[in-house]
Structure 1
Amino acid sequence: MSKQAANPYRSILRRHMPEPLLALLIFVMGVWLWDNHFGPKYGWEDGVGRMALRKADRELRLAETAGDLPELPRKLLGIPDREHALTHAILSLEMLENDRTLDEDGAFALGVLRVVRKNDGALMPPPPDPDLIFRRVAQGSDSWWDREYLTQLGSVRRDGTVQAMPERSKDPRSREVALRAVLSRGAVWLLALCGLAFLPAVVRGYWTALRSQPRGYIGHWPTALGLGVFLLAYLASIGFGKALDLLISQKWTGEGGQPVSIAPGLFALIDAATRFLPALLAFAFLFRKGRHVYTRLGLNAAPDGKLVLGSFALLMIADQVLRHFMLGADIPDDPAGGLSEMEEGPWGLVLALTSACLAAPAAEEILYRGVLFRSLANGLRVPAATLISAAVFAVVHFYDGYGLTSVGLLGVACALCFAGSGRLVTAICLHALYNFAIKVPEWIVYHAPL
């Protein structure tokens, strides 16, 4: 009789992560996070100034056109009032000014906005090219502050004639921005309202999660082993990300020192690959066959739709509480408000969907819930594992206080969805829906051609 093959997973469960190595990995990760959160900043990336002007222009148009809506729907739809939009735009441009990265167009915009906010009759700053302002208005490609500048003059010079200045409030582009914001952000809230119907299912699912016990192979990973695998995968993701940053900044050159140009579709594939490589590295440590990943983590089953929609509704409500009541000090930490030139135009939308709405949720849930949370829950109770894994998930995102708290709450909801349903695909769907609700309206309002 042939001897029965030994179970390879037993040898994995017997692996020991040396404590000095684990401590070293934690130290390296801690230094990286500390430097990114509290270390000195070395200027802004290329394109931040242009995106700051784009965001300021559309926020001011939005405030002027739809700022008279009742307060509650205006806050839910993220429509600022005129004073808030002016202040936010000035603070954002002043960040670039203080960093000495504000170009002539930005300096002109900042000067106009300062005069408009003071409303003290001060003289408008001269534009870099006065004729360019007239041409932009004639072509319908002007910014909000261009017409504000010309309004002070009282007329527009065109083809050697003097014409009455068109009212800025009647600019069709301003109405279009307002319509985009109301429809796209309103659709998100409509979905959230539908999700409120599933709150009883969420309560049952979360209660089940908090009482759940480790089961099966993934329920027996030693916590130290899981932590070590997670740390190795995370540190590998930093290396992959740095390589991708080189591509974005075009520091890789070909023959003759010419920058290597990458097609948008190819770049989207490379970006998705860099996100999944750390997860594949973790699989190599913890699994022997690819199909076991799907079956053990619950990736081959249908998600719990009620749990996803109900959790999404709760996250939307929590976001409003954070934004308007707990963390209301709206001081920008990024002049562009998180906007990136990489997401401009149709290919930018493709990148946003494939990267932020598909690849990132799947890859991050595998690491932070499938490996980190599961490993912590094997040695601790689920509530403690949920909070610790959510805290780690938050601090690896380099946001302000509001952003860190929002991401932390998403991490809590995803961990409970995974534990409550027993299927990681449920957490992935919630994460994808949350990112979709942010990225798609953002693209429609700020990135789509106007």
Structure 2
Amino acid sequence: MTHDYLPSSPSPATETASRPPGVVETILCIAAYFAMQFAFAGLFGGISMQLARTFPDTVPQAPDRLIVVVILTVICSAFLVSWLLVRRWGPGRAMDPGPAGLGFTAPPGRFIALGTALGIAAPVIGGLLTQFLAGEHAVSQAVSDIADKAHVGMRVALLPVVVLIGPAVEELLFRGALLSILRTRLGDGWAIGLSAVIFGTVHLPDLAWLWYAVPNLVLVGLFCAWLRVRSGSIWPSFVAHAANNALATIAWFTATAAS
């Protein structure tokens, strides 16, 4: 019969699953990442203190324990939010190089080289900018404060988290999900600028709310967002972010050698 050949209407569940994520959902995903960090830090920090009380002679000192807490916190938070984002965006949007996609596509080789160069230039230019704005005030991030007091072995253990895992999940959040939403609504120029400002601002708690350190991170956000838009891929921005963080970690080992 003729009605046997009519296409079936999609169910509400199917329509919901195929609907692209919106602004509110994207912001909630970013907020969830930082909320997860807070929750996991409290969980692992509490376990660390309990172990220190129970086994005072065998558990490492507080700075080394804090490094372990940071590593576990970032890994767990990054895994959960990355799984959530990729699942919600779906394989098609994840591989889409366009404005609506996350950009998990292979970029032209020249953008990897450009990402490396910008990642090296960012901390140099941003450092000078921060010094100019801060004057005589000292600026440091919470992770570097912890690492400065830890043993060299623990700093080495922290390197993959700071240089690889942290940049990977932040690129997925800010140059993947957030930039995608902004590009489809505001266009490339406004999306690059606004995403960079948001990226810098959300790091204020890590900077002890020192506003004059934010422009440095905004600069990193501008470089990374521009790379994502121009290359059609998220990987050059990841390379730039990783190179920026790698240079920042040199100070940890320099301080150790000086002492």
TM-score range normalised by the length of the shorter chain: 0.7 to 0.9
Shift of 1:11: 3.1
SS of 1:298's partner is coil
The TM-score with structure 2 as length reference comes to: 0.73
Give the direction of change, closer, same or farther, for the CA distance of 1:414–1:335 in structure 2 (3 Å limit). Answer: closer
Q: Is the 8 A contact 2:37 2:73 kept in 1?
A: no
Please list, as runs of the form range in 1=range in 2, the aligned pairs for 1:358-369 lying within 5 A after superposition.
Answer: 358-369=164-175
Give the direction of change, closer, same or farther, for the CA distance of 1:306–1:388 in structure 2 (3 Å limit). Answer: same
**Is the aligned partner of 1:433 residue 2:243?**
yes
Give the direction of change, closer, same or farther, for the CA distance of 1:283–1:242 in structure 2 (3 Å limit). Answer: same
Q: Report the counterpart of residue 297 of structure 1 in structure 2.
A: 102
The TM-score with structure 1 as length reference comes to: 0.45
State the structure with more CA Rg: 1
SS of 1:301's partner is coil
**Is the aligned partner of 1:315 residue 2:118?**
no
Q: Is the 8 A contact 1:298 1:422 kept in 2?
A: yes
* Alignment equivalent of 2:15, drawn from 5, 11, 15: 11
**Is the aligned partner of 1:409 residue 2:219?**
yes
Please list, as runs of the form range in 1=range in 2, the aligned pairs for 1:297-376 lying within 5 A after superposition.
Answer: 297-302=102-107, 304-312=111-119, 314-324=121-131, 326-332=132-138, 338-341=144-147, 343-351=150-158, 353-376=159-182
Q: Is the 8 A contact 1:294 1:300 kept in 2?
A: yes
Q: Is the 8 A contact 1:293 1:299 kept in 2?
A: yes
Give the structure with the larger helix fraction. 2
* Alignment equivalent of 2:81, drawn from 267, 271, 278: 278
Give the direction of change, closer, same or farther, for the CA distance of 1:337–1:274 in structure 2 (3 Å limit). Answer: closer
Q: Is the 8 A contact 1:272 1:354 kept in 2?
A: no
Q: How far apart, CA to CA, are the structure 2 residues paired with 1:357 and 1:230? A: 24
Q: How many residues align?
A: 237
Q: Report the counterpart of residue 227 of structure 1 in structure 2.
A: 23
Give the direction of change, closer, same or farther, for the CA distance of 1:334–1:299 in structure 2 (3 Å limit). Answer: closer
Q: Is the 8 A contact 2:102 2:176 kept in 1?
A: yes
Shift of 1:363: 0.2
Give the direction of change, closer, same or farther, for the CA distance of 1:2–1:268 in structure 2 (3 Å limit). Answer: farther
Shift of 1:230: 2.0
Q: Report the counterpart of residue 206 of structure 1 in structure 2.
A: none
Q: Report the counterpart of residue 442 of structure 1 in structure 2.
A: 251
For the aligned residue pairs, the C-alpha RMSD in angstroms reads 3.9
Q: Is the 8 A contact 1:387 1:412 kept in 2?
A: yes
Please list, as runs of the form range in 1=range in 2, the aligned pairs for 1:76-155 lying within 5 A after superposition.
Answer: none
Paired residue type of 1:244 = F
Q: Is the 8 A contact 1:250 1:259 kept in 2?
A: no
Shift of 1:444: 1.1
Paired residue type of 2:202 = V
Give the direction of change, closer, same or farther, for the CA distance of 1:449–1:272 in structure 2 (3 Å limit). Answer: farther
| Residue-by-residue CA offset, 1:354-389 (whole Å, 9 max, x unaligned) | 221101111001111101111111011211111111
Q: Is the 8 A contact 2:119 2:244 kept in 1?
A: yes
SS of 1:339's partner is helix
| Residue-by-residue CA offset, 1:136-179 (whole Å, 9 max, x unaligned) | xxxxxxxxxxxxxxxxxxxxxxxxxxxxxxxxxxxxxxxxxxxx
Unaligned runs of 5+ in 2: 60-64
SS of 1:319's partner is helix
Q: Is the 8 A contact 1:308 1:429 kept in 2?
A: yes
Q: Report the counterpart of residue 394 of structure 1 in structure 2.
A: 200
Give the direction of change, closer, same or farther, for the CA distance of 1:266–1:429 in structure 2 (3 Å limit). Answer: same
Q: Is the 8 A contact 2:196 2:221 kept in 1?
A: yes
Q: Report the counterpart of residue 249 of structure 1 in structure 2.
A: 45
Give the direction of change, closer, same or farther, for the CA distance of 1:270–1:395 in structure 2 (3 Å limit). Answer: closer
Q: How far apart, CA to CA, are the structure 2 residues paired with 1:339 and 1:264? A: 11
Unaligned runs of 5+ in 1: 16-220
State the identity as a percent: 21
Give the direction of change, closer, same or farther, for the CA distance of 1:377–1:442 in structure 2 (3 Å limit). Answer: same
Q: Is the 8 A contact 1:349 1:443 kept in 2?
A: no
Shift of 1:232: 1.7
Q: Report the counterpart of residue 424 of structure 1 in structure 2.
A: 234
Q: How far apart, CA to CA, are the structure 2 residues paired with 1:301 and 1:243? A: 35
* Alignment equivalent of 2:184, drawn from 362, 365, 378: 378
| Residue-by-residue CA offset, 1:118-148 (whole Å, 9 max, x unaligned) | xxxxxxxxxxxxxxxxxxxxxxxxxxxxxxx
